[in-house]
Amino acid sequence: MSRKSLTLSAELHEYVVAHSTPLDPLARDLVEETWAALPRQAGMQIAPEQSVFLTILTRLLGVRRAVEVGTFTGLSSLAIARGLPEDGQLICFDISEQYTSVARRYWERAGVAERIELRLGAAAQRLRELPEEPTIDLAFIDADKPGYPAYWAEIVPRVRRGGAILVDNTLRGGRVLDPAGDETDSAIVRFNDLAREDDRVELVVLPLGDGVTLARKR
């Protein structure tokens, strides 16, 4: 038995993906279009195994009301929406009309557009439009890293007891151990410390993709 999680080589990552439920043709089209059209930004897209994880977790938790901060071209929102029941709702917050226009096309193709509401603008402000009552079942944060504390502050009180919050890129390729003056890496270090000390949640940092913090509201 290992005392630590594995660091995935490229070959082991391929094995993980090959032995997980595969992306369907529509999701693969979205991945390929994103890399072809936006090669410099495509690294913002979640990994294939994260997409499968999001759908399974949404179904396991019986999520009916979800929130996403940072939609990009829509792979994560597509994954969450596919895990919702027909009357479920996902509210997505993003600042880019360009990127989310791709997402909208794939939501339509997947037949989940009715479950998704997109709100463009600064998420730290627009999140305050949500009801203050704790009604959110699942939240996914994957946006600008310095903004994470502000998003966390708005989302945690609005998540129901037993609900889940996922935060992406919390390992930063291992650079959280030595941010070396990089502001984005340093922002994640500060956020990770903040989340760890928040007694409203219990959490674990998973070595999934670039690191995913999974928190459960107490």
* Spans of all domains in the chain: 10-217
How far, in Å, are 149, 183, 197 from residue 179 at the CA level?
18, 8, 20
pLDDT surpasses 70 at 45: yes
E strands, the chain, in order: 65-69, 89-94, 116-120, 136-141, 159-168, 201-206, 212-217
Confidence of residue 38 (pLDDT cuts 50, 70, 90): very high
Q: Please give the mean pLDDT across all residues of the chain.
A: 95
Taking Cα atoms as reference points, which of 58, 161, 166 lies closest to residue 112?
58
pLDDT tens-digit readout, 116-141 = 999 999 999 999 999 999 999 999 99
Whole-number pLDDT of residue 22: 92
Place of tokens 């670039």: 210
Whole-number pLDDT of residue 2: 54
Whole-number pLDDT of residue 99: 97
- CATH superfamily of this structure's domain 10-217: Vaccinia Virus protein VP39 (3.40.50.150)
Whole-number pLDDT of residue 92: 98
Alpha-carbon span 144 to 147, nearest angstrom: 6
pLDDT tens-digit readout, 81-113 = 999 999 999 999 999 999 999 999 999 999 999
